[in-house]
Amino acid sequence: MGINKSLVIVESPTKAKTINKYLGKEYSVKSSMGHLIDLPKSRLAVDVGNDFKPDYITIRGRGKILSELKKEAQKSDQIYLAADSDREGEAISYHIKNALEKANPKAEIKRIVFNEITDKAIRESIGHSRSIDMSLVNAQKARRILDRIVGYSLSPLLWEKIKKGLSAGRVQSVALRVICEREEEIEHFTPEEFWTIEAEFIKGKKSFRAKLLFMDGQKVSIGSEKEADAILSRVKNEKFIVQHIDESERRRRAPAPFTTSKMQQAAGSRLGFPARKTMMVAQQLYEGIDIEGGPVGLITYMRTDSMRVAAQAQEDAARYIRENFSEQYLPPKPNIFRNKGNAQDAHEAIRPTSVHRTPAQMKEFLTRDQLRLYTLIWEQFVASQMAAAVFKQVKVDIAADGGTFRTNGQKVLFDGFLKVYRGNGADKEKVLPPLKEGEQLEPLSVDKEVHYSEPPPRFTDATLVRFFEESGIGRPSTYAPIITTLIARYYIVREKRQFKPTFLGSLTNDLMVKSFSDLLSIQFTSNMEARLDEVADGKLDWVQLLKDFYHPFIESVEEAQQKLESYKGITDEETDLTCEKCGRPMIKKLGKYGYFLACSGFPECRNTMPLPYGKCPREGCDGFVVERKTKRRRSFYGCSRYPDCDFMTWDKPSPDPCPQCGSIMVEKSIEGVNKLICQRESCGQHIAAADEKKEKVLVKT
């Protein structure tokens, strides 16, 4: 037999491939594919009467992986557990350690962690191996059991009161409540009219506008056209005199490098990425991209709420900035960013593993999405290490018979970090022409304009993640899964990148809030996160945390079972359609993925079909247009009578039928104007498209 290799166990095969490249033949690098040991799905598996002892099992389908790891362990004297450096990773390592100790009691099993997948970081982690951190394991165990108790207690309640297949979760349900409450605000919002008055001036070749802010020393608030006309008549024909010019210098400090939530927010608002997609692409960049010679990890660990940056990384960034820009683009001292009070500092901020791997150099090795996210991370990090930007700001007040109009200008004196940073456009220049106090200006126009107050916007991925972060709900690693779960359960839908609750989501939320208002409060959820942090820090016993929660919670569940009204069948709706197989009426039902049609003769007849959008446009066909999927899961819309009728279109039909013939209409852009066009050739009706998409409705016949 040859010399035993040291065994390194990571979570993913991609990461294993990258690490194996660095460690060479002396090491065997294997993947656990994530958790191998967990609670079974079929039952609670928590002994609540015995200090909440969990009944762990090997996850179905993972037994073969565990057996292979045991065989490798029997050939190894040194075993390094290199799962991700967070609570989940610590728990994965803990369970693997317990299993491998039985397979090879003589092996030395150690935990290693690293913030980036580079040769230096991995070898340093092996040199600084440690024991399993049981405080982190207990924090993960407490969270897992807590969520299991909540989910396995509330979900059956929803099955009993609404319909089978629903789920509730400790954090998931709070997120749903927030989205539903925002929708209620929007629905109950009453727009208020207000008016503004602006003057336009030109001096030389530059034109600029100034807004009326004060009248006779009082801040202007114009609530009606009559008030606007009265002010206009007073100031319109008066002399406009430059009353005051205030110039100041403003410094804007460089932005902090990304934390997980800030990366998700930036990718959502600037790239249009859902949170789930952001994390998936970031995982690829972290685990390794094939670059000449093999896989290379391009970014540091992407689940972090720390803004700390390693000294070596700061030195590398300074060298890059000095070589590619100049010394003046470096701050006098390296920029330091303070973490929030509840931030876990196990990892650095998200940054490129080498600042010298520029996006331009990586372009040929990355997919479009990988390149866009890598560019975002690279630019944010380099900008974070640069000098502040300096602006000259000008505020000009222009007087006209007691009215004060104001305009603001801004000029970049030194671009600093803006050399590489592309933010939200707030730092764009607006240069005013040279003005002097006391000079008279001739307005090109003085106009009034009506406005209406707007309701609060629906949440997007970016704004919902920001809300989670600011409210202390969940952890950075849980933000994307929370959103994904709400969409998968059909509690919310994404419309124009905004989240809107469905009828099912609103109904579920109403029922939950009636009985579990405290549990679903932001404060309770935030406090629970803080207590789980105390467990992770070794300051609180995990069993005590569960005891404090369990008994009041179970009492509220039992009370809800008795008092809550049943809403069974409320989502079902009779239709005028008949089953093509047995002739009985079809029922509009709500399933896991939205509404569909099912035969009322169930279970004798199990016929179902997608919810139709409208009548088939083919002459003589009595079918309906329904959504279908290609083999690659792309949606198209075809006749329910296929293959007898082969009508299809890639364009999503409007929920409203053609007012002339009742067939389907699709939205098309004609000469820059969106119009709804009937798909029946003999009709061809064109009407203006509505601004807002409507929910799909069943076409009655």
Q: Which residues are catalytic?
A: 301
For residues 15 and 37, the answer to whether their CB atoms sit within 8 Å is no
User: Sheet containing 6-10: which strands, arranged edge to edge?
Assistant: 27-31, 6-10, 78-81, 108-111
Burial (CB < 10 A; 0-12, 13-18, 19+), residue 593, is: exposed
For residues 389 and 417, the answer to whether their CB atoms sit within 8 Å is yes
Angle subtended by helix axes 275-287 and 13-23, to nearest 10:
20
- What are the Cα distances from residue 439, in Å, to 269, 354, 399, 580? 43, 56, 11, 83
Q: What is the DSSP letter of 595?
A: E
Query: What is d(CA 460, CA 131) in angstroms, rounded to the nearest whole number?
Result: 41
DSSP assignment string, 522-556 = HHHHHHHHHHHHHHHTTSS-HHHHHHHHHHHHHHH
Residue 401's φ and ψ, nearest 5 degrees, are: 50, 60
Query: What is d(CA 296, CA 284) in angstroms, rounded to the nearest whole number?
Result: 10
Q: Which residue has the tokens 């070898």?
A: 123
CA torsion through residues 100, 105, 106, 112, sign: positive
Query: What is d(CA 545, CA 528) in angstroms, rounded to the nearest whole number?
Result: 9
For residues 653 and 646, the answer to whether their CB atoms sit within 8 Å is no
Neighbours of 132 (CB within 10 A): 19
Helix (H) or strand (E) holding 92: helix 87-103
